[in-house]
Amino acid sequence: MTDSFYRRALSFTNARLWQLVHVDVLLMGSLLLLISGGLFILYSASGQDVAMVERQVFRLIIGLLICVALAQLPPKYMRRASPTLFIFITVLLIGVLLFGVGAKGAQRWLALPGGLRFQPSEIMKIVMPMMIAWYFSDRQLPPSFKQILAVLGLIVLPVLMIAKQPDLGTALLVAVSGIFVLFLAGLGWRYILGAAALAPIAGYALWQFMHDYQRQRVLTFLNPESDPLGSGWNIIQSKTAIGSGGLYGKGFLEGTQAQLDFLPESHTDFIIAVLAEEFGMLGCGVLILAYLLVIARGLYIAANAEDNYARLLAGSLTLTFFVYMFVNIGMVSGILPVVGVPLPLVSYGGTSIITIMATFGILMSIQTHKRAR
Amino acid sequence: MSRRHQNFRNYRQEQRLTQQRVLAAAVFVLLMAVVLMARLFYLQVIEHELYQTKANDNRVMLVTEPPPRGLIYDRNGLVLADNRPIHSLTVIPERVESFPKLKQMLSGIIDISDSEWEDFDDRRKEYRRPYQSLTLKSQLTDEEWAKVSVDLYKLDGVQVEAQLTRYYPYGEAFAHAVGYVGRITTKDLETVDKLAYQGALFIGKTGVEGFYEKTLFGEAGLSKVEVNARGRIMSELERQNPTPGKDLHLYLDARLQQYAYDLLGEYTGSVVAIDPTTGGILALVSKPGYDPNLFVRGISVDDYATLRQSKKLPLFNRALRGGYPPASTIKPFMGLAGLEYGFSSWTERYFAKGYYQINPDGRRYRDWKRTGHGWINLERSIIESVDTYYYQLANKMGITPIHNFLTRFGFGQTTLLDLSGESHGLLPSNEWKKAKYKEPWYPGDSVNVGIGQGFMVATPLQIAAATSALASKGHYFYPRMTRLVGDHPAEFEDGLGDEHDIVLKDQRNWDRMIDAMRKVITDAHGTARRLQGTDYEIAGKTGTGQVFSLQEDQEYDADSLEKRLHDHALFIGFAPARNPKISVFAIFENGGSSSKPADLTKALFDAYLHDDYPARYDYLKGDKND
């Protein structure tokens, strides 16, 4: 059904031309829809700071260029490069732990000459599913128990290093992107159920591993009222912003929580609360719909990809993108702890825009390099 | 295509497996999206009202704006209580990274006492709106202000704020009349609107400042403002402007007040001057006074202890609360009482020995003149202040007529309209003695009261008010401090401010008594003949009170024993005698001879009636344009 819908939609465009430049029109279209909506919210969330919106546009353009550039690279090259990239980035992660620079007690960046900074963990979000997909590309699916263990081993090492920086949000996302490949490769349901049963124990282990501020976030999540002026402030204010928006919102630039700075991080992690306050549940519904459009196209590309590597990679990247969105909206609306995950393509700044646009470049490459049937 | 090719690989099946998983994932994505929408529905629809209220509570704040306090002027338009801008060091705790560090940095710049820090820490820990500033040290000196300002950029969260404070330019001579404002205590807040006083720094405590608190305070402005998360006001939603407190224009004459205070010299004592035509208080002096400015922002423990422990009782308002025997100054009133009830007449003659006895063998009540005055009449008993005349008169009358008559002049009651804390003195009666001592009233008790001693106690204000009533021939005004409130004449509750007449059976007795009091000065034997030589007529009466120490004053000090045994010296007077514009009561505690208060009174008359003060009082002249 979706297939025919996209086919019909495609017929309205010059399919061959786009094929030639390796741009998937539907994916690009949904992305642009999402991006422009995001800029609109950012204008309000930044306190009508045009300069900030301009910087965001600049970043998005860079992202789009990288996206289109990556789309030119056939998937087979990516596959071949996967293990090398994985090892390289893992080495860089070790480098971060040893020589990294950072801020606020976290050590996430490698300083490059020329004052540039580089965050290997961000790239790991792409390289991890590439590595696992590569691992399964010449193995028969579904994976055996031994293979599962091997894959888990591959996942755990970099994830632990990222968690140690400490950057729990990214660590979880990297882990999830690897596990998604495992899931798409046909991981037995009994393993999935078993893992679900083991989750509490894992949770306890994770607790032991956490830094104090991370534990504090979890505690605050469980009971934000316990510290209304301290660590609970963010979540109380974001819930207030969302709830006070109601069904239709207070109107563009009319959100008191956002415009009077009660909402912290309103242009970065908590930007969805601005949308929710000013455009209500209706606005949020439209935004989530835009995300679902992108995700639907991503999953379509995955389902119709040429080989296992492409399928697994495309599926995992799309699902990770979804997790981004879900975790962000979940934390801002108070159903998940505050882990510092931005709303993809909408939150201001960060390296994440570049990585995410690179992700979609890979998806476009997978979609547009198929041999004609 | 793979190096480790497996024979039985079914690519088709593997593709289907992955596709199934993608489908499962799609279902999962949809489900989770529904979860998010459900969460949003819960917050935005079901709990919408709760969060809407929270958002409004966040952004809307009630801010009270303290109104500028009304000023207090003397009769010539001189400002006795002023508002002055001061600078205070305030801190926004949220902006301070580390308090120990801040403490250390500030200690290198200005002195902040431990108690100031403790006070600040206490208030910091109370619940308060975030990002509101708290005062750390108030009333910076110019030097401190300059020092802090230089380093302000280094001190995150610290700022210097300007506020209005109360200032009393003329200090201690006026403290007991004008009063002072002080730090608002929890007890104060029980009697006023807490919201209105939210931004206020002080509240009227004593004197006119205390009595007219409501009038002087005005009405606090109230504005509903929209604030941001840092407490900064973004916009004003609703506003009610503060109504400034009303100014008070007193009857007080600053030069007269200061002059009287200075004329008391080293003595403790009191002077009260009243305008008999209005009842307006021209001077209300209690010496020693104190610097009222000490109290404005809360007096320090040390300063307060010094004032409390001073043997001269500077905090004690002698004019309103000092209980003195009126002594011979009561004689004109006692003489009028005798006339009123037919116990004496102007013509009846009396032989005054050096003493008086109720019974031939009884106790001898001595006259101040051991040799006696010989044949005298009522007039001469005033001129020469004949004690024996009043012993016998009081004995004849008994206490009840005395009590009734003196009551009409305000003795034994509080009469002051607009100052609180006045004591009602003691005008004894049968009932009083029975209740207090469970004893009957003895004739000897009356004898003592006849010369204003014994049980009788009056405050300087009472004696001054009675003198003023006598001066105006019974046209009685309740004494009052305030002439104008804002632009309107001061009004008092229940018609208390109304004047009324004390009507004697024979109204001519007023003139006769005033005449007798005039002769106290003009007669060759008058007890105040030293006041002769003025170009206007003075009527007066001297008094010398046997020492009764002040009620509150219980300390007994051997070194000062001698001086403390000296008599209190009193004088009442008014001038010009036939058309009085000013009446005065003055007392020098342990002053010995009544010449001191008499001289003081004359000096005040000279200055007041001729508007001729020593040049050193020019700074208190005022601009007279009120």
B254-620: what fold? Answer: Beta-lactamase (3.40.710)
Beta bridge partners of B8: none
Looking at beta carbons, which residues of chain B come within 8 Å of A186? 14, 17-18, 21
CA of B418 to nearest chain A CA: how many angstroms apart?
49
ipTM of the complex, rounded to two decimals: 0.90
Structure tokens at B543: 């008094």
CA distance B112 to B103: 9
Contact B618, B74 (CB under 8 A): no
Among B21, B22, B51, select the one facing A244 at the smallest CB separation: B51
Residue positions counted in chain B: 626
Q: Which long-range contacts (CB under 8 A, 24 or more apart) does B194-197 make?
A: B195/B62, B195/B64, B195/B220, B195/B222, B196/B64, B196/B220, B197/B64, B197/B66
pLDDT digits (tens, 9 = 90+) for B154-201: 887 888 888 888 999 998 999 999 999 998 888 888 888 877 887 788
Residue ranges per domain, chain B? Answer: 63-250, 254-620
B132 or B268: which leads in pLDDT: B268
pLDDT at B95: 76
CA distance B620 to B169: 10
> In this complex, how many residue pairs, one in chain A and one in chain B, have their CB atoms less than 8 Å apart?
149
Contact A128, A88 (CB under 8 A): no
* A215-224, B265-274, B562-571: least confident range: A215-224
Residue in B8, B40, B232 to test binding to A, most A beta-carbons within 10 Å: B40
CA B595 to each of CA B186, B267, B317, B582, B586: distance values in angstroms, whole numbers, following the listed order: 48, 14, 24, 19, 11
CA B180 to each of CA B207, B262, B295: distance values in angstroms, whole numbers, following the listed order: 7, 21, 7
Looking at beta carbons, which residues of chain A come within 8 Å of B95? none
Among A245, A247, A303, select the one facing B19 at the smallest CB separation: A303
Instruction: For residue B355, give the 3-state DSSP assignment.
Output: strand
Stretch B585-593: mean pLDDT: 90
pLDDT at A332: 93
Domain with residues B63-250, CATH architecture: Alpha-Beta Complex (3.90)
Burial of residue A109 (CB within 10 Å: 0-12, 13-18, 19+) is: buried
The DSSP symbol for A144 reads: P
pLDDT band, very low/low/confident/very high, at B624 (cuts 50, 70, 90): low
CA distance B571 to B460: 10
What are the phi and psi torsion angles at A276 (to 5°)? -65, -35
Residue ranges per domain, chain A? Answer: 2-368
Instruction: For residue A5, give the 3-state DSSP assignment.
Output: helix
Q: For the CA atoms of B347, B352, B357, B361, what is the dihedral angle to 10 degrees?
A: -120
Contact B512, B299 (CB under 8 A): no
Q: Would you give the end-to-end CA distance of chain B in angstroms?
A: 109
pLDDT digits (tens, 9 = 90+) for B63-82: 777 889 999 999 999 999 99
Contact B488, B481 (CB under 8 A): no
Instruction: For residue B372, give the 3-state DSSP assignment.
Output: coil
SS (H, E, C) B224-243: EEEECCCCCEEEEEEEECCE
Nearest to B195 by CA among B159, B168, B223: B223
Contact B207, B176 (CB under 8 A): yes
Stretch B45-51: mean pLDDT: 93
CA of A284 to nearest chain B CA: how many angstroms apart?
8
Handedness of CA B180, B182, B188, B189 (dihedral sign): positive
What are the phi and psi torsion angles at B418 (to 5°)? -135, 45
Looking at beta carbons, which residues of chain A come within 8 Å of B48? 243-244, 246-247
Looking at beta carbons, which residues of chain A come within 8 Å of B35? 335
Nearest to A302 by CA among A367, A219, A229, A234: A367
Nearest CA in chain A to B39: A333
CA distance B207 to B199: 23
A268-295: b or e for each residue (b if 16 or more CB lie within 10 Å)? bbbbbbbbbbbbbbbbbbebbebbbbbb
Is the pLDDT at B625 greater than 60, yes or no?
no
Nearest to B328 by CA among B604, B568, B600, B59: B568
Stretch B510-519: mean pLDDT: 94
B23 or B566: which leads in pLDDT: B23
Residues 6+ apart with CB under 8 A from B548: B323, B324, B325, B457
Burial of residue A210 (CB within 10 Å: 0-12, 13-18, 19+) is: middle
Instruction: For residue B544, give the 3-state DSSP assignment.
Output: strand
Is the pLDDT at B343 greater than 80, yes or no?
yes
A210 or B296: which leads in pLDDT: B296
Residues 6+ apart with CB under 8 A from B38: none
pLDDT at B230: 63
pLDDT at B64: 77
CA distance B152 to B209: 36
Question: In chain B, which among 114-143 make CB contacts under 8 A with chain A?
Answer: 130
pLDDT band, very low/low/confident/very high, at B555 (cuts 50, 70, 90): very low
Nearest to A300 by CA among A6, A67, A16: A6
Beta pairing, strands B72-73 & B248-250: parallel
Q: Give catalytic residue positions of B.
A: 328
Interchain pair B43, A280: CB under 8 A: no
pLDDT at B249: 95
Contact B274, B468 (CB under 8 A): yes
- The DSSP annotation for A219-272 comes to HHHH-GGGSTTTTTHHHHHHHHHHHHHTTT-S-TT--HHHHTT-STTTTTTTHH
CA B95 to each of CA B110, B131, B316: distance values in angstroms, whole numbers, following the listed order: 20, 8, 46
CA distance B519 to B513: 10
CA of A49 to nearest chain B CA: how many angstroms apart?
17
Is the pLDDT at B537 greater than 60, yes or no?
yes
SS (H, E, C) B158-219: EEEEEEEEEECCCHHHHHHHHCCEECCCHHHHHHCCCCCCCCCCCEECCHHHHHCHHHHHCE
CA distance A260 to B53: 16
pLDDT at A227: 63
Half-sphere exposure of B368 (CA within 13 A, CB side): 18
**Chain B contact for A179, CB < 8 A?**
no
CA B411 to each of CA B216, B328, B463: distance values in angstroms, whole numbers, following the listed order: 31, 15, 8
CA distance B60 to A324: 35
Half-sphere exposure of B400 (CA within 13 A, CB side): 4
Half-sphere exposure of B592 (CA within 13 A, CB side): 4
Q: What is the mean pLDDT of chain B?
A: 87
Residue segments in chain A with a per-residue pLDDT below the cut of 70: 1-14, 102-106, 113-116, 221, 224-231, 350, 372-373
Residue in B18, B34, B126 to test binding to A, most A beta-carbons within 10 Å: B18
**Chain B contact for A246, CB < 8 A?**
yes
Ranges B8-22, B458-472, B474-488, most confident: B458-472
Instruction: For residue B557, give the 3-state DSSP assignment.
Output: coil
- The DSSP annotation for B79-136 comes to EEEEEEEEEEEEE-GGG-S-HHHHHHHHHTTS---HHHHHHHHHHHHS---TT--EEE
CA distance B378 to B516: 9
Ranges A138-142, B93-97, B524-528, most confident: B524-528
Looking at beta carbons, which residues of chain A come within 8 Å of B21? 183-186, 315
**Chain A contact for B565, CB < 8 A?**
no
Q: Which residue type is seen at B271?
A: V
Is the pLDDT at B330 greater than 60, yes or no?
yes
Q: Is the peptide bond before B576 cis (omega within 30 degrees of 0)?
A: yes
Among A245, A264, A326, select the one facing B32 at the smallest CB separation: A326
